């Protein structure tokens, strides 16, 4: 572990990364571990699938809203202080969510906790990339970003499995009896966040230079409200349908209008709140979009598959999580492999191979039945996650390498803003598709009384049809990613 200096103080880069990875693990678990717990939330709060998925979409919404602010915060607040603020917010958010009473009237408290956690994670994700880019030379960043990929990729992937295992256990914590309860899924993130918060003052260092940057409040308003309205509109699709004017179409178009004004203002400012000019660099934009497609493909199936396994296949939360375990493990293995291969073969080759594998692993999902063996689902999911790991982090590293060091904070914020917006949209999109197909194909209540077995069979078919369309959309992301990866600059990165 090599010691380096900043501000005349010696520190260890590896330990700094370890602290960030610990905290990121908690944030990433908060982001995706609810996938397996969605059916439990539906039962506990007496809500439908669309409402339950708001726990994810609202998280992604506020996560995306916070990311543009991260560039300003990274340049204005010392690295150690900013990390402590983010970790404290995450701890509070997890605790609020975990403490929500079980009734439909308290669902908003659960969402508030998710929002607080999302605000913290919206700071943590870009800061981790900014810190790594400031600590490591260009030739070292591939391995460092590969290590980060273990957290950004593997932990969200392992979240559903870990959540399913936790839901099967009995716990007592601060007076709560957590027997087969959704609350238990927050135990590990809470403890991990607490550990990171305690370690930060001792191991974190102010590696990102700070400067007095004036906050453009108008830009902050435009970005927050613009992205917020846009994502809120997509969040409402599952509950209200695409044709709903006040809850879906108005916020989406209003959000787009404010985002356009925001972008126009950034192009005019000498010191922009978010330097959108980074997208004028083709070598940054194309890999960023390709990496985002990989993330969307991961979220698309990752959020839908546990619900399919429990609602269609009838598996328990633990068994559905266990089915996805190999995918999580392969995600970690191939994240490390792609990091090691980055300097040897380049992002383009890794991206094209990764998306090809992703497509091959996704296509069979279009033919799932209520009787498909879980071992086949597990293998296919593992193939998908291996492909995503090979494509996602190399593309992010390639994108950031195209920018000068002075632009890394803005490039990171821009990349993560698009990523979170895209993730919010894909979760809302797929949830609405599944919910709408189910609603449109639900048999009459009369059949439920007169022919209960036939009613149950038709409901099962309706759910399965909805999931198949969601998987088809995810396959589309893989195909589009493969095509765009072809246009990534092909020069191999120098060792």
- Could you tell me what percent of the chain has a pLDDT over 70? 82
Q: Is residue 495 part of a domain?
A: no
Residue 330 lies in a domain: yes
355 and 235, same domain (yes or no): no
What CATH number is given to the structural domain containing 120?
Answer: 1.20.1250.20
Count of structural domains within the chain: 2
Question: Within this chain, do residues 346 and 376 fall inside the same structural domain, yes or no?
Answer: yes
Domain end, chosen from 228, 251, 272, is at 272
Same domain, yes or no: 97 and 195: yes
Is residue 494 assigned to a domain? no
Shared domain for 334 and 446, answered yes or no, is yes
Is 19 found in the same domain as 51? yes
Residue 210, Cβ density class (10 Å: 0-12 exposed, 13-18 middle, ≥19 buried):
middle
State how far the Cα of 129 lies from the Cα of 407, in Å rounded to an integer: 12
Is the domain of 116 the same as that of 156? yes
- 236 lies in which domain range? 216-272
Instruction: Please state, in angstroms and rounded to a whole number, the distance separating the CA atoms of residues 412 and 456.
Output: 48
On whether both 314 and 398 belong to a single domain, the answer is: yes
Residue 184 lies in a domain: yes
> Does residue 63 sit within a domain?
yes
Q: Are residues 195 and 240 in the same domain?
A: no
Domain-located, residue 490:
no
Shared domain check, 227 and 187: no
- For residues 330 and 391, membership in a common domain is answered with yes
Q: Which of 247, 272, 297 is the last residue of a domain?
A: 272
On whether the CB atoms of residues 306 and 35 are closer than 8 A, the answer is yes
Could you list the pLDDT tens digit for every one of the 495 residues in the chain? 455 555 445 667 778 888 888 888 777 777 666 666 777 788 888 887 777 777 877 787 787 777 777 777 887 888 889 989 999 999 999 899 888 888 777 888 998 998 998 888 888 877 887 788 778 777 676 667 666 666 665 665 566 566 556 655 554 444 444 445 677 778 778 888 898 899 888 888 887 777 777 778 888 888 888 887 887 887 777 667 777 888 888 999 999 999 999 999 988 888 787 788 888 888 888 998 998 898 888 876 777 777 777 777 777 766 776 777 778 778 778 877 887 788 788 888 899 999 999 999 999 988 888 788 888 988 998 899 889 888 887 888 888 888 887 777 777 777 777 777 787 778 777 777 777 777 777 766 667 667 666 766 776 777 777 788 888 888 899 999 999 998 888 755 444
pLDDT tens figures, 95-134: 998 888 887 778 889 989 989 988 888 888 778 877 887 7
* Same domain, residue pair 134 and 227: no
Domain identity same for 220 and 165:
no
Residue 157's pLDDT is 56
Answer yes or no: is 141 within a domain: yes
Q: Could you read off the pLDDT of 351-380 as tens digits, one per residue?
A: 999 999 999 999 998 888 878 888 898 899
Contacts of 186 (CB under 8 A, 6+ apart): 30, 94, 97, 98
Asked if residue 492 is part of any domain, the answer here is: no
Q: Which of 446, 437, 457, 285 is nearest to 370 (CA)?
A: 457
Model confidence pLDDT, tens digit, residues 438-479: 777 776 666 766 766 676 677 677 777 778 888 888 889 999
């Amino acid at each position: 572990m090599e010691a380096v200096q900043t501000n005349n103080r010696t520190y260890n880069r590896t330990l700094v990364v370890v602290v960030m990875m610990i905290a990121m693990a908690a944030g990433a678990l908060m982001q995706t571990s609810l996938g397996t717990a969605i059916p439990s939330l539906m039962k506990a709060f007496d809500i439908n699938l669309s409402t339950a998925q708001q726990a994810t979409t609202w998280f992604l919404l506020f996560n995306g809203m916070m990311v543009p602010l991260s560039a300003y915060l990274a340049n204005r607040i010392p690295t150690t202080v900013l990390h402590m603020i983010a970790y404290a917010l995450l701890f509070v958010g997890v605790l609020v969510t975990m403490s929500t009473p079980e009734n439909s009237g308290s669902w908003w408290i659960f969402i508030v906790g998710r929002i607080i956690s999302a605000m913290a994670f919206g700071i943590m994700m870009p800061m981790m990339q900014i810190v790594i880019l400031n600590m490591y030379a260009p030739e070292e960043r591939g391995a460092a970003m590969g290590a980060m990929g273990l957290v950004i990729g593997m932990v969200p992937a392992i979240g559903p499995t870990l959540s399913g295992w936790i839901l099967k256990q009995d716990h007592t914590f601060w007076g709560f009896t957590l027997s087969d309860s959704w609350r238990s899924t927050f135990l590990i993130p809470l403890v991990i966040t607490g550990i990171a918060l305690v370690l930060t003052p001792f191991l974190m260092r102010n590696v990102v230079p700070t400067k007095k940057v004036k906050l453009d409040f108008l830009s902050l308003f435009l970005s927050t409200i613009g992205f917020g309205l846009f994502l809120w509109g997509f969040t409402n699709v599952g509950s209200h349908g695409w044709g709903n004017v006040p809850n879906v179409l108005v916020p989406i178009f209003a959000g787009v209008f404010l985002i356009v004004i925001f972008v126009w203002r950034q192009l005019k400012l000498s010191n922009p709140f978010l330097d959108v000019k980074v997208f004028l660099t083709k070598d940054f934009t194309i890999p960023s979009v390709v990496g985002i497609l990989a993330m969307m493909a991961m979220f698309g199936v990752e959020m839908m598959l546990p619900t399919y396994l429990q609602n269609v296949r009838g598996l328990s939360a633990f068994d559905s999580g266990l089915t996805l375990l190999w995918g999580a493990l392969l995600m970690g293995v191939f994240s490390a492999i792609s990091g090691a291969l980055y300097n040897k073969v380049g992002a383009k080759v890794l991206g094209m191979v990764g998306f090809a594998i992703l497509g091959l692993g996704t296509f069979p999902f279009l033919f799932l039945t209520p009787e498909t063996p879980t071992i086949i689902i597990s293998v296919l999911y593992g193939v998908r996650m291996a492909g995503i790991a090979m494509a996602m982090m190399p593309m992010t590293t390639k994108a950031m390498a195209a920018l000068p060091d002075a632009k890394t904070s803005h490039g990171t914020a821009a990349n993560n803003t698009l990523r979170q917006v895209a993730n919010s949209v894909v979760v809302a999109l797929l949830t609405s598709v599944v919910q709408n197909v189910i609603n449109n194909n639900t048999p009459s209540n009369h059949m439920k009384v007169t022919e209960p077995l036939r009613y149950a069979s038709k409901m099962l078919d309706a759910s399965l049809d909805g999931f198949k369309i969601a998987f088809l959309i995810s396959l589309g992301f893989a195909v589009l990613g493969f095509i765009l990866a072809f246009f990534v600059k092909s020069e191999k990165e120098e060792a």
